[in-house]
Amino acid sequence: MTTMSPSITSALAATYKRAPMEFVRGEGVELIDADGKRYLDFVAGIAVNALGYGDAGLAAAMQGAIESGMVHVSNLYRTAPGEALAEALVAKSFADRVFFCNSGGEANEGAFKFARRWARGQGGTAKHEIFSLRGAFHGRLFGTVAATDRPAYRLPFRPLAGGISILERDLTEIRAAIQSETTAAVIVEPVQGEGGVRVLDAGFLRELRALTTERNILLIFDEIQCGYGRTGSFFAYEQSGVIPDILTVAKPMAGGLPMGAILMRAEVADALQPGEHGTTFGGGPSLASVALHVLERLSDPTLLASVTENGAWFGAQLRALAERHPKVRSVRGVGYMWGVDVTDPAKEVIGRALDLGLLLVSAGEHTLRILPPLVTMRDDLARGLALIERALG
Ligand SMILES: Cc1ncc(COP(=O)(O)O)c(C=O)c1O
C-alpha cells in the first residue's frame, strides 16, 4: 500500500477521511496511484468527471481557454464565452436567464436568494420560507446545510439559517406546510443523490408542480448531481416533463474546473437589482469556454443514448445481482446514477472494492453509490459489476 508523504495530509483540514493511496494519473475511466495500481472509477470525482480522464477534446478546450491570456476578467466587464454559455444553456432549457458561480452549494445559496427576492416582491417579508425534502442534499454552506437532511452535517452548526425547513416526501404534509402567503420556494433533487439515490416519482413531481403553481411558490430543481446527462437526458427534469422555475447545476459543467450555475425564468432573475447578488470568479472567460465544450459533449444525443441504454442494462444487472446475492437489499437508480443498499456497512464494501481496484462512494451508511464517467462503455461497466460482486464478499 502507498505511503504518502506526511506533509501532504497534515496541512489539510481534516474534513475528509481520505483513502490512503495517492493518485498521480488518470486515463480513460481509470485512476492510477503512485504505485502504478489502476482503479476503475465508479465515482468520477463524485459525478464531476463525466468525460473520464485524459480526454483530448477537454484538454484542447482547456488549452484554448488560456490562449487569450484572459484567465479572469471580472463581472464588471463583458466577455464572450460566458455570454455564449448562458445563451446555450437558455437554448437547451426552460430558462431565460443564467447566473454563474463556482460550486453546487453556491448555486443553491444563490437560488435561495433569487427565490426570496422574487417572493418579497410577491408577498412581502412574510413570504420567505424555503422547504426541502426528506433525504435531500443541497450542500454544506450556511443556507444549504439547513436544507440538507443529514443530522451529522447540521447539528454541530445550530442555530442554522432561519426560514429553511425539511418536509417528508409526502404530498399531504407538503400541502399543509406550503402556503402562498408564507412560502417562497420548494427545492427538490429530481434524483436524490447523497441521500440514497432515490428517483422521485414523476407523478409526485407533477403534483408538486401543480401545488406550487397554484400557490404562487417557486419550484427549484437541484440537478447538481443528476443533471448534465447523468440520467440519460441532458436535464433530469426532461424525463418527468415537470418544468421548474429555477434549476441549479454544477459538478460536471466545466470538466472538473469549479463552476456552477443558476438557470431561471426571467421573472425570477429580474427580481434582483444589480449588486444584490454577485461573485468574483463566476462565469469567467476561461471557465466558460471550457464549459461550452463540455456542454456540447454532454448534450450530444449519441452520448445521451449510450447513457440511457447502457444505464438500463447496468440497472438490470444490478437487480439480478440483488436477487442472487444475500447481501444486497435493494437497487435504485437511472442512467449512470445507481444506489445499492447492502447489509454490510457501505464503508466496508467500499474498502474491499478499493483493494480490488474499484472506486465506489456511499450514499448513507448502507448504500453504495455508483457514478461512472458518462463515457464508460459496457465492458467496463461489466468489469465493475464483477468487482462489486467480489467486494460484497
Ligand atoms: C444534489 C447536490 N446539491 C448540491 C451539492 C453541493 O455541491 P458542492 O459540493 O459543489 O458545493 C451536491 C454535492 O454533492 C449535490 O450532490
Tell me the CA–centroid distance for residue 363 and ligand 1, in Å.
13
> Is the Cβ atom of 149 under 6 angstroms away from ligand 1?
no
Q: Are 39 and 359 in contact (CB under 8 A)?
A: yes
> Is the Cβ atom of 368 under 6 angstroms away from ligand 1?
no
Residue 1 pLDDT: 45
Does residue 75 surpass a pLDDT of 60? yes
Report the candidate in 108, 107, 83, 109 with the shortest Cα–Cα distance to residue 97.
83
Does residue 9 surpass a pLDDT of 90? no
Arithmetic mean of pLDDT over the chain:
97
Q: Are 376 and 313 in contact (CB under 8 A)?
A: no
Residue 197 pLDDT: 98
Place of cell 495530509: 9
> Is the Cβ atom of 223 under 6 angstroms away from ligand 1?
no
Residue range 87-107: average pLDDT?
A: 98
Domains, in order of start, for the chain: 6-55+301-392 (3.90.1150.10), 68-298 (3.40.640.10)
Angle at alpha carbon of residue 261, lines to 257 and 264, rounded to 5°: 165
Residue range 87-103: average pLDDT?
A: 98
Does residue 8 surpass a pLDDT of 80? no
Q: What does pTM read for this prediction?
A: 0.97
> Is the Cβ atom of 132 under 6 angstroms away from ligand 1?
no
C-alpha 297/C-alpha 253 separation (Å) is 10
Does residue 4 surpass a pLDDT of 80? no
CA-CA-CA-CA torsion sign (84, 256, 227, 75): negative
Does residue 273 surpass a pLDDT of 90? yes
Residue range 108-131: average pLDDT?
A: 98
Q: What is the CA radius of gyration of the chain?
A: 21
Residue 10 pLDDT: 81
Residue 392 pLDDT: 98
Residue range 313-336: average pLDDT?
A: 98
Nearest ligand 1 atom to the CA of 46 is 14
Does residue 303 surpass a pLDDT of 80? yes
Q: In Å, how far are 3, 183, 241, 247 from 237, measured between CA atoms?
A: 44, 22, 6, 9
Strand partners, 113: none
Query: Which residue of 248, 251, 262 sits with most ligand 1 atoms within 8 Å of its CB, as the best mutation to test the pocket?
Result: 251
Does residue 2 surpass a pLDDT of 60? no
> Is the Cβ atom of 315 under 6 angstroms away from ligand 1?
no
Which protein residue has the closest C-alpha to ligand 1 atom 16?
225
Q: How many residues can be counted in the chain?
A: 393
Tell me the CA–centroid distance for residue 146 and ligand 1, in Å.
14
Q: In Å, how far are 81, 106, 311, 341 from 72, measured between CA atoms?
A: 11, 19, 38, 44
- Percentage with pLDDT > 70 across the chain: 98
Residues whose CB falls within 8 Å of the CB of residue 323, separated by 6 or more in sequence, listed in order: none
Which protein residue has the closest C-alpha to ligand 1 atom 11?
105
pLDDT higher for 5 or 281?
281
> Is the Cβ atom of 102 under 6 angstroms away from ligand 1?
no
